[in-house]
Amino acid sequence: MNEITFTLAEYNLAGCSNVDIATALVTSKPMLILLHGWQDNAATFASLWPRLIQDYDVVAFDWPGHGKSDHKSADNYYHFFDYIDDLHQVIVQLKREKVHIIGHSLGAIVAGCYAAIFPENVDKIVLIEGLSPLTEPPHMIVERLRMGIVSRQRYRHQHLRLKQRSMATFTDALTLRASVNRLPVSLLEAVVQRATIERDGRWYWRHDPRLRCDSLYRMAQQHAQTLLNSIQAPVLSIIGDNGYVDLRKTEASDWGINNFTQVMVSGGHHCHLQSSNDVYRHIRTFIPT
């Protein structure tokens, strides 16, 4: 996979691909767009890349504020709906008639919303440990706004200290991330390599600390359900046997999605790292070449 850059209207997104996106060359292979989760990066799919590139044209990129992508400007924050806009700008640049989207966690939620909004651009979607947008009852709107504003104020008071946080070695960063995700360090090395940078003998996280600010808004269940009901593309849901229990709804009618299949593999929320062979096998069956 080669390093690539997508130039969007407001910032640049870094990524990886096995095709030259600059030439807009169309091959006979299906195109997969890989979308990572919150505070991960494109390398969360690194264990799948050697298999996927044999059968598909593959593009994986870092969301803004993640990995090697630009941070948003100082007067902006990270709104869920903006990720959908970012994805649309990427897909328009690829100039493919239709693409397949594979998303993990946040990336899975974005993939589902995008497929609902732009069905003409999407063939199939694979949602790994993620499905519906996060929802709250309408009566939570006041508390949600308060939490969001307070978290921004907290960030403004702490941003200099947050930017100065560092670790003595790469191993320290890797060990910390493995502890947070409760995964072996061997599964996270590629992710942490892309998530850190070395300066003057110290290791720093690349991600924007504003990613930790609380949302100002979450959808009501009716809004999320309308989006799910509008997905026309076939959906493959991949969940871990130790993942989020709320995702275990095997029937299409349970989610209100027209064409829905769910499979379970070994692992937790990052089951695509823990069971990459099985995840690849399910993708290959679902998206034949």
Taking residues 150-161, what's their average pLDDT?
A: 90
Q: Is residue 284 packed enough to be buried (19+ CB in 10 Å), middle (13-18) or exposed (0-12)?
A: middle
- What's the CA gap between 101 and 123, in Å, rounded? 8
Q: Is residue 159 packed enough to be buried (19+ CB in 10 Å), middle (13-18) or exposed (0-12)?
A: middle
Q: What percent of the chain has pLDDT over 90?
A: 89
- Which of 247, 252, 253 minimizes the C-alpha distance to 265? 247
- Which of 114, 82, 83 minimizes the C-alpha distance to 98? 114
pLDDT digits over 1-20, tens only?
A: 999 999 999 999 999 999 98
CA separation (Å) from 223 to 30, 104, 109, 156? 31, 21, 14, 32
* DSSP states along 207-270: S-GGGGSPPS--B-HHHHHHHHHT--S-EEEEEETTS-GGG---SHHHHT-SSEEEEEESSSTT
pLDDT digits over 99-146, tens only?
A: 999 999 999 999 999 999 999 999 999 999 999 999 999 999 999 999
pLDDT digits over 169-194, tens only?
A: 999 999 999 999 999 999 999 999 99
**Letter for the amino acid at 1?**
M
Whether the per-residue pLDDT at 161 is higher than 60: the answer is yes
* Pair 69, 62: CB distance under 8 Å: yes
* Pair 26, 61: CB distance under 8 Å: no
Enumerate the domain spans of the chain: 2-136+218-286, 139-212
Average pLDDT, the chain: 94
- Quote the pLDDT of residue 251: 75
- Quote the pLDDT of residue 26: 66
Q: Confidence class of residue 24 from pLDDT cuts 50, 70 and 90?
A: low
* Pair 238, 267: CB distance under 8 Å: no
pLDDT digits over 254-276, tens only?
A: 889 989 999 999 999 999 999 99
- Which of 112, 118, 117, 126 minimizes the C-alpha distance to 30? 126
Whether the per-residue pLDDT at 74 is higher than 60: the answer is yes
Taking residues 39-50, what's their average pLDDT?
A: 97
Q: Confidence class of residue 97 from pLDDT cuts 50, 70 and 90?
A: confident
CATH class for the domain made up of 2-136+218-286? alpha beta
